[in-house]
Structures are given as C-alpha cells and as structure tokens.
Amino acid sequence: MIAIDSLALLDRLEVLVSGSWRVPFTSRAAVDENVLFDIIDQMRISIPEEVKQAGELLKEREKLLSAAAEEADRVVEEAKEQAARLLDEHEIAAAARAEAASIRQQVQREAAETRRGADDYALGVLSDLEGRLSSLLRTTSNGLAALKRRQGQAVSEERGKAP
C-alpha cells in the first residue's frame, strides 16, 4: 500500500468540509460520511507509517550523532597524544640544548687550560733554551777571547824574535 502524505489527507478533509452543504444560519455543514470515513481510514494508515519513518530518522540521527561524538573523542585523544609527544620532543630538545651548552662550556674551559699549559711549557722550554744559549754564547765569547789573546801573544812573540 502506498503511504499517503498526512498533509495531503488534511487538505482533502479541508476541501470536503469547505465544499459541503451548509446548514442555513449555523456554522454547521453536512459532510458526506463515506468520504469522511475514507479519509480518516487513510490517515490511520498514513500516520503510523510517518511516525515509524520519523522514528527511524531519529534513530539514524542518534547513530550519526553518536558516531560524530566518537569521532570527536578520537580526534581529541589523538590531539592530546600528539601534544604530549610534541611536549616530550620539546623537553628532549631543551635537555639536548642544555647538555650541548654544558659540553661547550666544558670544552672551552679545557681549551683555555690546554692553552695555559702549552704557554707554560713553551715559556719553560724557551727560558731553558735562552739559558743554554746564554751559556753557549759566554763559552763562545770566552773561547774567542782566549783565541784572540793567544794570537796576540803569538804575534808579540814573533815580533820579539824577529832580527
């Protein structure tokens, strides 16, 4: 059976009443009882079907709302998890930056200490070398002076032997 729209049935009732014979000097109308009962029967059939369809639509709406709420909850949970991961990554990166800064400071301190040690070592070696060179220079100067004296004596002796 084809469901007839309730509004169309109400329109038919309205046409039936407005097109009926009027009792003079009253607001009453004479309606064809068979047509009236036929429309009422059709409404009894139509209305439960429409109510059933409306119920199915409400169930479908509830399913959609439930699915949308579940999807929203899932998206919110994923967003929370991603935020937690990003926070962890941020904390790890901050810890890595702090560790890198600490290592950089340690390396700079060690480099400065190594430079001081190298400077101290070079100063010691150069001071020792200077002392040795000074001693060698004195020895060289004394040797030259002794040779010059001997040469001077040899020349004097040869002059004194000369005829």
- Whether 50 has a pLDDT exceeding 80, the answer reads no
- Using DSSP, state whether 26 is helix, strand or coil: coil
pLDDT per position as a tens digit, 92-106: 889 999 999 999 999
Is a pLDDT exceeding 70 seen at residue 38?
yes
pTM, full prediction: 0.38
User: Closest Cα partner for 29 from 41, 16, 39, 46?
Assistant: 16
pLDDT at 26 over 50: yes
d(CA 118, CA 162): 64
Residue 115 pLDDT exceeds 60: yes
Name the band, by pLDDT with cuts 50, 70 and 90, for residue 1: very low
